Structure 1
Amino acid sequence: MQVAYRAHNLFDAHLARHVLEDAGIPAFVFGENLLGAGGELPLFGILRVCVPDPCLADAESALQAAGLLGAGLPGEDPDPILEDDPGLLPA
């Protein structure tokens, strides 16, 4: 299995899964059952939509056609820390 999409939230993950399944690509949402353990797991990067290895290129095309991949690359962190971001500043 290869990660075709890293989701921001559960709705985003299932939207990507349905796009892939409509294109005839089997997909599975990993991390869905871990959302209840939010206090003990990192809050981001848990949800991943995975496809079988041979289907990765077709999955990327289907997700891009649906507008889910945008400028980001598959497998990229949905909330990257930008180099120019100063972070929290004092008031």
Structure 2
Amino acid sequence: MKIIFKANDILEAHIVAGMLQSYGIEAHVGGHYLQGAVGDVAPLGIANILVQDEDSEQAEQVIAEYQDNTATSSEPDDPLLASEPAK
């Protein structure tokens, strides 16, 4: 198995793993117990997604598309939404 993605937290890891599974790629989320060991504060970078070596190339393509979509989705489509509301 190969670590294919380091998520910000367990929630994001499960979202990405579910997305990979929807493409027929078996994905395993690691880091559950590490997050619990540090308490209620959500540490970043301990949730990993692992896939079989033979699925890594397809998984990398799916994750690259996911990262492209999350980067562009943070930018509002409507320029009026980008400005701060009047006070």
Task: Give the TM-score of the pair, scaled to structure 1.
Answer: 0.64
Partner in structure 1 of residue 83 of structure 2: none
Partner Cα distance (1:5, 1:69) in 2 = 16
Mapped contact 1:63–1:69 kept (Cα < 8 A): no
**Cα distance in 1 between the residues matched to 2:68 and 2:7:** 10
- Could you tell me which amino acid in structure 2 is paired with residue 26 of structure 1? E
- Which residue type is aligned with residue 35 of structure 1? Q
- Unaligned runs of at least 5 residues, structure 2: 72-87
RMSD, matched Cα: 2.2
Structure-2 residue corresponding to 1:14: 14
* Cα deviation digits, residues 9-46 of structure 1 (max 9, x gap): 1111011101100000000001112211116xxx3332
Paired residue for 1:75? Answer: none
User: Structure 1 unaligned runs (5+)?
Assistant: 72-91
Q: How many residues align?
A: 68
Aligned to 2:84: none
The one-letter amino acid of 1:53's match is D
Larger RCO (alpha carbons 8 Å, 6+ apart): 1
CA–CA distance in structure 2, aligned partners of residues 31 and 38 of structure 1: 11
Q: Which has the higher helix share?
A: 2
1:44 alignment counterpart: 44
Structure having the higher strand fraction is 2
Percent of pairs with identical residues? 31
